[in-house]
Amino acid sequence: TRPTRWHAARIIAIWLPLWLGPVALIAALAGPGSVWAQIGGFFSLMAVVTFGGAYAVLAYVAQAAVNSFGWLSPGEMVDGLGLAETTPGPLILVLQFVGFAAAYRHGSAISPLLAGSLGALLTLWATFVPCFFWIFLGAPYIEQLRQNKALSAALGAITAAVVGVVMNLALWFALHVVFAHVQSVAWGVEVPVLSSLDWRAALLSIAAMIAMLRLKAGMLPTLLGSALLGLALQAL
């Protein structure tokens, strides 16, 4: 599809108010310091600055939700990821878990369940509506951009950076799963408290890696085996 002269202006006029209008309205009604304004603003910002798939997004969201906003504990963020990984649907739906938990705890003006449901809905809106905005705005130019060698090289470098972001997420979750306590040192780096090692989680992690990387087991058999082994270890 070739872009027309008024393509960009028309898309911006339709989708930008559709995206930011409800977010701005909720922030105005609830107040700029409310959890609703925080959820709408944070996930709208996330929709602008993140790319590379759900794992790359979660690296940013997990640390912000736990360390910056205090919406969840590290263990609860791990629970959310586990819930999203083991249920049908895209992994990115873990963001609605974060929005639900944030509003459930801090949306004090209404019942917690209703607040959590509205928080999840607001998170859903601020996460996915911008996707349609970017797609409709940029789609006509994709073929032209693919032919730009300089841009293709830049995108290749970005892809390599995304791999590093995903590794950061894996390390963050590994620390908070295998160890009950971590502590921050210089430059915000987190290191585990070795005495808080959860040997059950460590054993399960090693067994799952051997199953998938060495024995070439599929994801579903590995998940099922890990779940059964986890139940057996928990009973000890």
Q: At 183, give phi and psi (nearest 5°).
A: -135, 145
Query: 153 pLDDT exceeds 90?
Result: no
pTM of the model: 0.80
pLDDT > 80? residue 134: yes
Model confidence band, residue 1 (pLDDT cutoffs 50, 70, 90): low
DSSP secondary structure letter of residue 65: I
**What pairs with residue 179 in β-bridges?**
197
- The string of pLDDT tens digits covering residues 77-91 is 989 988 888 888 888
pLDDT at residue 129, as a whole number: 93
36, 23 contact by CB (below 8 A): no
Q: How far apart are CA 18 and CA 12, in angstroms?
A: 10
Tell whether the model's pLDDT for residue 13 goes beyond 70: yes
